[in-house]
Chains A and B, each alone.
Chain A
Amino acid sequence: MTLLLVEDVVCPFCGCLCDDLQVVVEDGRITNVRRACVYSLAKFLNYNKDRLMRPLLRNGDGLQETDMHKAIEAAARILVEAKYPLLYGWSMTSSETQRLGVELAEELGGVIDNTSTVCHGPAIEAYHDIGKSTCTLGEVKNRADLIVYWGSNPLQSHMRHMSRYTLGSKGFFRKKRGERTVVVVDVRETYTARVADVFYKIEMNRDYELLTALRMAVHEEEIEQESVAGVSNEEIEELADLMMRAEFGIIFFGVGLTMSLGKSRNLDAALSLVRDLNRRTKFLIMAMRGHYNVAGANEVFAWQTGYPFSVDLSKGYAQYNPGDTSAVDILTRGDHDATLVVGSDPAASFPKDAVKGLASRPLVAVDPHTTATSLLADVVIPSAVTGIEASGTAYRMDGVPLEMKKIMDPPTSVLPDAEVLELLLHEVRRIRG
């Protein structure tokens, strides 16, 4: 029996991008991962389930096995013939692959979008208007005495966030639990709310109002309402006070804020609140990014095209306007005439009309696993699991880049995403001559 311990492994699951995992490989199989949360462990132990082993081509109602050459050719043809192809996904792969994705979108004259568009995109839209005061997670670990989770439930979504970076972490200036206060603002009492020091239950879809009331308190302005969003004036003043008296405070926000009524304007208010707080004390804000490299997709798109998501390259140069050039809107309006999905499953998560749009036009899916999207596709290309079977760079929720390792070989003839993209680019260029 061979036993291998791979250390300092970067987890390819969520935006925490924990990089201290120890992967145990016995007889060529991963059998355990030390320090991993349950999601991470599940990924490492189950990554070979529902694998796509061979490329598939649609024939009538069914998908039939084919070889890579035919699949690449069919995929390239679909994309080249399209007048407005959409290239979507990108959040569960490396930055090296994302760079190739932008190159392909540019070559084709299509729209490239990543999962920000249904997740933290609204935070980026607000960022354009306000800016933001932020930091890396070690700053929180070392200095934060006030941590606010707003519309975010890390104990269920980002399981090691608190132990690595906030409440449970041992910071240089905050060594003990008692030196930190955790506040949760949410529409229901989540697991995280139960371990918090203070919990504010807020009426659904009223985050904007509460944030505005807090801003008023920070500006030392009286409000004329007795309660806002189900939170009494007294409690609002109490929370504002907590924030202003903190030595180093931070708000972590989740989709509870980005996807509830108001969306980007909820973030407009939150970013403004944090900015205003900086006149009194040190205060910061950070998005609890979902997928492990959605932050990387924003970075790559921005440095290559100038824009972080929803990038329309159909004119040969980049244009950006979520609502116009965003995946869900394009699919819903039926503006597209072909789609390539890489490392994502929009058919499982997009609104119904967008999924209809996705299904109604030629679709190419590149994924390690069978997904709702791959089942709808006309061409399916299997790929390696990045972070386990392929190395590459990923960006943590705070923008820290880390190199993911290759620990296992993919199944024979299954290639890393980056190589699939290179084959597609090559074939697209060949067809166009």
Chain B
Amino acid sequence: MARTITITPRSVLTVPVEVEILSPDFLQNKTISEIESLPTMEGNRRRELRSLFEVEAGSHGDTDEVTLILKGDFSKVKRIGKAMEKDSVLVQGNAGMYLGEDMKGGSIKVEGNSLSWAGTRMKGGVIDIYGDAGDFLGASYRGSTVGMNGGLIKVRSNAGNEIGCWMRDGTIIVKGNVGLFPGMHMKKGTILVEGNSDGRAGASMTGGRIVCLGNIGSILPSFLFDDVRKDVKVEDQRIQGPFYVFSGDATGRGEGRLYALIQNNSHLKEYERFVED
């Protein structure tokens, strides 16, 4: 039987909260009482979930699926969807840091904003954020070179700095604008920014592609003009250009590519002198 589990905060959360574990597949075979007893850290206090949240559960339909609905402001709740492998999470509000950390499958949807480090070390599945995402989308942990390694992160509004930092594979799509250093130290995968970037795209990238339909900002001195291309394929979509294409980062292996939509990047016109006739 498919289950819907709805969790609602009893009052405004003030200090950081972490539940072990707010993932739908983890909750699959648990009774309401077991869910209410889940160990929950409220700052440094060890609690049970029930002391901070109300739980409702219902079942319907024939499938085995679990839908976890988080109803309210969950911006103080860290690691929602941690290591989940299937089923879905719907956050009807804002989501806290490390959303979908180590996720392998299933889907997470956030109707509000998400704080930083969403999709960190993700391997599969889909994260869909309707509002803004913070910094370090799909990034690695500090000191590690293993960032997002698969799956799809979609942000319908804006995202912050260093999205896709140390990314190894997968796709990030931001419909709005992003900050500095998208694709920092990127190894492989695709980042699509439909809005503008603050600049320095692909810094230290060794592979992968960054496509920007808006103003890509400044191009680093370590990126060299490659070509003009008429379109580029992202996921199943063929996006019409034409694009200025740059390769880099030449201070490293330099097998990454930046695609800047020509019509929104007139500041890069000077590179046309490199176009071979």
Q: Taking the complex as formed, is A262 at the interface, i.e. its CB lies under 8 A from any CB of chain B?
A: yes
- Give the distance to chain A from B138, nearest Cβ to Cβ, in Å: 15
Set of chain B residues within 8 Å of A109, measured between Cβ atoms = 43-44
Indicate with 1 or 0, residue by residue over B156-186, a CB within 8 angstroms of chain A CB atoms.
0000001000000000000000001100110
Binary interface profile of B, 95-136, with partner A (CB < 8 Å = 1, else 0)?
A: 001000000000000000000110000000000000000011
| Residues of chain B having any CB pair with chain A under 8 Å | 14-16, 18, 41-45, 76, 97, 116-117, 135-136, 141-143, 162, 180-181, 184-185, 200, 203-204, 218, 220-222, 224-225, 250-251, 271, 274
- Residues in chain A near residue B218, CB distance under 8 A: 209
Bound together, the chains give a CA A316 to CA B46 distance in angstroms of 11
- Set of chain A residues within 8 Å of B44, measured between Cβ atoms: 83-84, 108-110, 313-316
Complex contacts, B136 vs chain A, CB 8 Å:
323
**Contacting residues of chain A (184-214) with chain B, CB-CB under 8 angstroms:** 208-209, 212-213
CB-defined contacts of B204 to chain A, threshold 8 Å: 268, 272
Q: Is there a chain B Cβ closer than 8 Å to A125's Cβ?
A: yes
Contacts of B184 in A (CB 8 A): 265
Residues of A131-181 at the interface with B, using a CB-CB cut-off of 8 Å, are none
B45 to chain A: which residues have CB within 8 Å?
Answer: 83
User: Contacts A110-B44, A314-B16; is A209 near B220 (CB within 8 Å)?
Assistant: yes
Contacts from A to B (Cβ < 8 Å): 82-84, 108-110, 125, 128-129, 208-209, 212-213, 215-216, 219, 221, 223-225, 228, 261-262, 265, 268, 272, 276, 313-316, 320-324, 334-337
Is the beta-carbon distance between A83 and B42 smaller than 8 angstroms?
A: yes
Residues of B within 8 A of A83 (CB): 14-15, 42-45
Given contacts A221-B250, A224-B271, A262-B200, contact A335 B221 (CB under 8 A): no
The count of A-to-B residue pairs whose CB atoms sit within 8 angstroms is 100
Inter-subunit contact B15/A212 (CB<8 Å): no
A128 vs B143: C-alpha distance in the bound complex, in angstroms?
5
**Known: A83-B43, A83-B44, A324-B116. Is A261-B180 also a contact (CB below 8 A)?**
yes
Complex alpha-carbon distance, A313 and B136, angstroms: 23
Closest to B251 in A: A215
* Additional A-B contacts beyond A83-B44, A128-B143, A268-B204 (19; CB < 8 A): A83-B45, A108-B44, A109-B43, A208-B203, A209-B200, A209-B218, A212-B203, A212-B251, A215-B251, A216-B221, A216-B250, A219-B250, A224-B224, A224-B271, A262-B180, A265-B180, A315-B18, A323-B136, A324-B97
User: What is the bound-complex CA distance between A314 and B135, given in angstroms?
Assistant: 23
Provide the residues of chain B in CB contact with A324, threshold 8 Å: 97, 116-117
Contact present for B180 and A212 (CB under 8 Å): no
- Assuming the A-B contacts A83-B15, A321-B142, are A212 and B97 also in contact, with contact meaning beta carbons closer than 8 angstroms in the complex? no
A84 touches B200 (CB 8 A): no
Whether A213 and B221, one on each chain, are in contact in the complex, defined by CB atoms closer than 8 angstroms, is yes
A213 vs B248: C-alpha distance when bound (angstroms): 13
Cα separation A321 to B43 with both chains bound (whole Å): 16
Contact residues in A for B185 (Cβ distance below 8 Å): 129
> Are B97 and A314 closer than 8 Å at their CB atoms?
no
Given contacts A83-B42, A128-B142, A129-B185, contact A336 B15 (CB under 8 A): yes
Given the known interface contacts A129-B143, A216-B251, A323-B136, the answer about A208 and B200 at a Cβ–Cβ threshold of 8 Å is: yes
Among A84, A110, A209, A337, point to the contact of B221 (Cβ < 8 A). Answer: A209
A-chain residues with CB within 8 Å of residue B135 when the two chains form the complex: 323
Whether A335 lies near B76 (C-beta < 8 A) is yes
In the bound complex, CA of A215 to CA of B42 (Å): 47
Interface residues of B, dominant DSSP: loop
Q: Which residues on the A side are within 8 Å of B97 (C-beta)? A: 324
Is there contact, CB below 8 Å, between B203 and A84? Answer: no
Residue of B whose beta carbon sits closest to that of A323? B116
Chain A residue numbers with a CB within 8 Å of B220 are 208-209, 212
Q: In this complex, what residue of A is CB-closest to B185?
A: A129
Q: A108 CA to B44 CA in the complex, in Å?
A: 8
> Quick check: B225 and A224 within 8 Å, CB to CB?
yes
Q: Which 4 A-B pairs have the closest CB atoms?
A: A109-B44, A83-B43, A84-B43, A84-B15
Residues from chain B with a CB closer than 8 A to the CB of A276 are: 251
B42 / chain A contacts, CB cutoff of 8 Å: 83
Please name all residues of chain A whose beta carbon is closer than 8 Å to the beta carbon of B15 when the two chains form the complex: 83-84, 335-337
- CA separation between A83 and B43, bound complex, in Å? 5
Distance in Å: Cβ of B73 to nearest Cβ of chain A: 12
Q: How far is the CA of A228 from the CA of B219 in the complex (A)?
A: 11
Complex Cα spacing A213 to B200, Å: 13
Q: Which residues of A contact B200 (CB under 8 A)?
A: 208-209, 262, 265
Closest to B203 in A: A265
B-side contacts of A212, CB under 8 Å? 203, 220-222, 251
Q: How long is the Cα–Cα vector from A207 to B160 in the complex, in angstroms?
A: 20
For A84, A225, A336, the residue with the greatest tally of chain B CB atoms inside 10 Å of its CB is: A84
A82-B250 in contact (CB<8A): no
Contact B142 A320 (CB under 8 A): yes
Can you spell out 17 A-B residue pairs with CB atoms less than 8 angstroms apart? Answer: A108-B44, A125-B142, A128-B143, A129-B143, A208-B203, A223-B221, A224-B271, A224-B274, A262-B180, A265-B203, A314-B16, A320-B142, A322-B142, A323-B116, A323-B136, A324-B116, A336-B15
Residues on B with C-beta less than 8 A from A84 are 15-16, 43-44
CA distance A82 to B222 in the complex (A): 49
Contact residue among B43, B143, B162, B203 (Cβ-Cβ distance under 8 Å from A337)? B43
Distance to closest chain A CB from B45 (angstroms): 5
Interface centre among A219, A276, A324 (most CB of B within 10 A): A324
- Residue contact A219 to B116, C-beta cutoff 8 Å: no
Chain B positions within 8 Å of A313 at CB level: 44
Q: Which residues of B contact A215 (CB under 8 A)?
A: 222, 251
Closest-CB distance, B228 to chain A (whole angstroms)? 15
Q: Chain A residues near B271: list those with CB within 8 A.
A: 224
Measured between beta carbons, the chain A residues less than 8 angstroms from B16 are 84, 314, 335
Contacts of A262 in B (CB 8 A): 180-181, 200
User: Is B14 in contact with A337, judged by CB distance below 8 angstroms?
Assistant: yes
Assembled-state Cα–Cα distance A261/B180 (Å): 9
List of A residues within 8 angstroms of B116 by Cβ: 323-324
